[in-house]
Structure 1
Amino acid sequence: MSITETKYFGKISFEPESELEFPRGLPGFDGRKRFLAVTFPASEPLVYLQSLEDPDLCFITMPLLAVDPRYRLTVGREDLNLLGLPPASQPRIGVDVMCLTVLSMREEGPTANLLAPIVVNLRNRRAVQAIAPEGEYSHQFELMPAEAPVCS
């Protein structure tokens, strides 16, 4: 059992085999390659991606299919290689991989990044932020769209 100190959750105990490894890190966060997926029953379905190298770095995510049940995952050859998955086929969400979407809290309301989901190989815990084909998904998908004004 290992323990890490975090800014938002205090001390967290975890099994080393529960670590997620991002072989190339995350865009904009150089050197941050080891994370934990932290969940709490009171905040389900949220999943907090807590950096093990930076106690101040934590992403709020949620399962991608909770946002868009019809999401079509496309993972490029390089990402499949980094994940340790066969290059000839696409992984299945919930079977081969776990997919999380990073949430952003904006003044207009929360959004989800469907353009670049976090893809985790369930067998070896390797992860990448995969970029979806251009035009298919938004990096600011509104989770609670503004209501249309009511005519009087």
Structure 2
Amino acid sequence: MQLKTKYSGDVEVDDRQLIEFPQGIPSFENERIFAILPFGTEPNPFYILQSVMTPELAFVMADPFPFFPDYQVTLSDSTIEQLEVKKETDVTIYTVLTVKDPFNESTANLRGPIVIHEGKQTGKQILLQDEKYHTRHRFVIITSSEVR
């Protein structure tokens, strides 16, 4: 299907890229179908969660674990049931970013990760109860020259 996007103009999307959020996303409850798209043309750890219905609605996401190695997400029984999770590897966890200029001012929402069951093509944004996680963690990328 042809999809109008916020960041990439018109793109062709395969049905396997579509994710249904049965309850929508908090503050966007009427938005139920999104596509997961790569961010840019070069390989990188970032993705776009693009609304199928509203071209202007898109979230920049990343796999949080390379950037926050101690991050832990525990799914509630209701999330496990709703997404039909049988084992940990059924789901992929993303964090929504607030991208700023310059990029080193960007933040990650570790309090409200996006959980995607790619096999079932369903998703849900959850709210973690762990108070050490906030909605605006500084998102720092360590370059290879900084690793010793």
Task: Report the TM-score range of the alignment, normalised by the length of the smaller protein.
Answer: 0.7 to 0.9
Q: Distance in 2 between matches of 1:78 and 1:67?
A: 28
**CA shift for structure 1 position 35:** 0.6
**CA shift for structure 1 position 78:** 1.7
Q: Distance in 2 between matches of 1:120 and 1:129?
A: 9
In structure 2, the partner of 1:127 is 123
Q: Distance in 2 between matches of 1:24 and 1:113?
A: 19
CA RMSD of aligned residues (A): 2.0
Higher Rg:
1
TM-score by length of 2: 0.84
Aligned residues: 138
SS in 1 for 2:111: coil
TM-score by length of 1: 0.82
**CA shift for structure 1 position 64:** 1.6
Per-residue CA deviation, residues 118-141 of structure 1 (Å, 9 max, x unaligned), is 000121111001111231311111
In structure 1, the partner of 2:146 is none
Q: Distance in 2 between matches of 1:32 and 1:53?
A: 7
In structure 2, the partner of 1:148 is none
**CA shift for structure 1 position 79:** 1.5
Runs of 4+ residues over 3 Å off in structure 1? none
Per-residue CA deviation, residues 98-132 of structure 1 (Å, 9 max, x unaligned), is 11100013578100001110000121111001111
2:123 counterpart of 1:144: no
Contact 1:23–1:82 under 8 Å retained in 2: no
**CA shift for structure 1 position 43:** 6.0
In structure 1, the partner of 2:51 is 51
Kindly provide the amino acid, as one letter, of the partner of residue 63 in structure 2.
P
SS in 2 for 1:67: coil
Q: Distance in 1 between matches of 2:136 and 2:29?
A: 23
Per-residue CA deviation, residues 55-96 of structure 1 (Å, 9 max, x unaligned), is 11010111121221232111112222221124xxxx53xx22
2:85 counterpart of 1:85: yes
Q: Distance in 2 between matches of 1:28 and 1:137?
A: 20
**CA shift for structure 1 position 5:** 1.5
SS in 1 for 2:36: strand
Percent identity between matched residues is 26
The range that moved more, 46-55 or 107-116, is: 107-116
In structure 1, the partner of 2:93 is 99
Give the unaligned 5+ runs of structure 1: 146-152
Kindly provide the amino acid, as one letter, of the partner of residue 77 in structure 1.
D
Give the unaligned 5+ runs of structure 2: 142-148
